[in-house]
């Protein structure tokens, strides 16, 4: 168990780290961040922030020497960087990063555990893409195997002609057949160092342009009927990786049951509602897990929850909504409000009369 006043190192500097650092301070810990140049908004709330390249061995060693435990907030932290942490323990195990960073490896891993991803094919050339679209059908989505998020590194293929016309990127890709789904949802869990696992309620997720627009609780049907099966897979994933911390799996709810979409070895955008809507937020429970503390209660404390992302210049008008007493605003403090960039989120909480 990490003693009071210890230092937690966080690889990455974005809003997820910012909210993790806030929870760590609440529990009596200090936080140091580490990331390359960028809008590292976690630095606003951390005790210190190291700005250095992921492959700067000297800077990384100096950072690690100041930490009692290390974690991350960004799934594209290089595996070599995570494995290069010497001295303090790092949670989760970097194998989780390695598994999630390659979409092909991730899907094969899920299949080995009995999960069902969308039909897929490896794509390394234009010929591979044409063959994949012919075999799996179109429409479908071509994705880079690495580094894509929030709709980046993805191309929708409407038909065979588009497959033939597309200039395939010079990077390993994967083609995924289109999934006819009724809804999208997340399963978010936290697993302690001794293997205790707890789940938050699942939300119905609404995406626009590949970016999460909103999460809703209760999730409604048909998601409610598929949560148990999805949770079982998520538990298998966490156990197989000997995972410590918060882990997220995203699913499509279909007539055939839950279809796996992707996993995120970190706290997740669709879990932001837990700050005000659950007994213990995903951010606090992640810190509890990596610090070796008892896990907090994950029960939902609201009757209805709606979390909406605030993108781009919409952040300039966000305060005007605070006239609604049910609304909670989180401004991430980012300087540049580019189109589609997550600048903050707002959570609308409705309680039962007795709460």
The predicted structure's pLDDT at residue 208: 92
pLDDT (tens digit per residue) in 173-201 = 999 999 999 999 999 999 999 999 999 99
**C-alpha distances in angstroms, 216 versus 202, 255, 338?**
9, 21, 26
The predicted structure's pLDDT at residue 310: 98
CATH number corresponding to 7-90: 3.40.50.20
The predicted structure's pLDDT at residue 162: 77
The predicted structure's pLDDT at residue 101: 95
pLDDT tier for residue 148 given thresholds of 50, 70 and 90: low
The predicted structure's pLDDT at residue 158: 82
The predicted structure's pLDDT at residue 219: 97
pLDDT tier for residue 81 given thresholds of 50, 70 and 90: very high
CA distance 274 to 249: 16
pLDDT (tens digit per residue) in 16-33 = 999 999 999 999 999 999
Query: Is the separation of the CB atoms in 10 and 17 below 8 Å?
Result: yes
Domain 119-177, CATH among 3.30.60.50, 3.30.1490.20, 3.40.640.10, 3.20.20.70: 3.30.1490.20
* Residue 114, Ramachandran bin (φ over 0: left; ψ between -120 and 50: alpha; else beta): left
The predicted structure's pLDDT at residue 355: 45
Query: Is the separation of the CB atoms in 2 and 29 below 8 Å?
Result: yes
Residue ranges of domains in the chain: 7-90, 119-177, 183-350
DSSP 3-state assignment of 39? coil
| 197 DSSP β-pair partners | 191
pLDDT greater than 80 at residue 352:
no
pLDDT greater than 90 at residue 206:
yes
pLDDT tier for residue 353 given thresholds of 50, 70 and 90: very low
Average pLDDT of every residue of the chain: 94
Tokens 């997820």 -> residue? 16
CA distance 235 to 96: 14
pLDDT (tens digit per residue) in 210-264 = 899 999 999 999 999 999 999 999 999 999 999 999 999 999 999 999 999 999 9
The predicted structure's pLDDT at residue 98: 96
Q: Please state the CATH superfamily assignment of the domain spanning residues 183-350 in this structure.
A: ATP-grasp fold, B domain (3.30.470.20)
The predicted structure's pLDDT at residue 149: 59
Cα dihedral 79/80/82/84 (nearest 10): 160
């Amino acid at each position: 168990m990490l003693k009071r006043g210890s230092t937690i190192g966080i690889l990455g500097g974005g809003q997820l780290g910012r909210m993790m650092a806030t929870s760590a301070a609440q529990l009596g810990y200090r936080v140091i961040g580490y990331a390359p140049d960028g809008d590292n908004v976690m630095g606003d709330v951390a005790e210190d922030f190291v700005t250095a390249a992921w492959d700067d061995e000297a800077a990384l060693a100096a950072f690690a020497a100041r930490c009692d435990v290390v974690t991350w907030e960004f799934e594209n932290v290089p595996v070599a960087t995570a494995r290069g942490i010497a001295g303090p323990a790092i949670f989760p195990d970097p194998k989780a990063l390695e598994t999630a960073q390659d979409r092909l490896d991730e899907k094969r891993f899920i299949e080995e555990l009995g999960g069902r991803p969308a039909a897929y094919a490896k794509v390394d050339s234009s010929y591979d893409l044409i063959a994949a679209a012919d075999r799996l059908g179109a429409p479908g989505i071509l994705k880079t195997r690495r580094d894509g998020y929030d709709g980046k590194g993805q191309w929708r293929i409407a038909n065979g002609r588009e497959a033939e016309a597309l200039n395939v990127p010079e990077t390993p890709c994967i083609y995924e057949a289109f999934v006819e789904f009724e809804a999208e949802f997340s399963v978010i869990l936290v697993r302690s160092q001794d293997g205790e696992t707890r789940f938050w309620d699942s939300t119905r997720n609404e995406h626009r342009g590949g970016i999460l627009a909103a999460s809703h609780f209760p999730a409604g049907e048909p998601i409610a009927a598929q949560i148990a099966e999805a949770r079982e897979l998520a538990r298998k994933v966490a156990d197989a990786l000997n995972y410590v911390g918060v882990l997220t799996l995203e699913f499509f709810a279909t007539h055939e049951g839950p279809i796996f979409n992707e996993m995120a070895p970190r706290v997740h955008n669709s879990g932001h509602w837990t700050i005000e809507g659950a007994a213990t937020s995903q951010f606090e429970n992640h810190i509890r897990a990596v610090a070796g503390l008892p896990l907090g209660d994950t029960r939902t404390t609201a009757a209805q929850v709606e979390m909406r992302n605030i993108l781009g210049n919409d952040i300039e008008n966000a305060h005007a909504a605070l006239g609604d007493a049910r609304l909670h605003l989180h401004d991430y403090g980012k300087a540049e409000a580019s189109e589609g960039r997550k600048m903050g989120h707002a959570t609308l909480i409705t309680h039962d009369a007795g709460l």
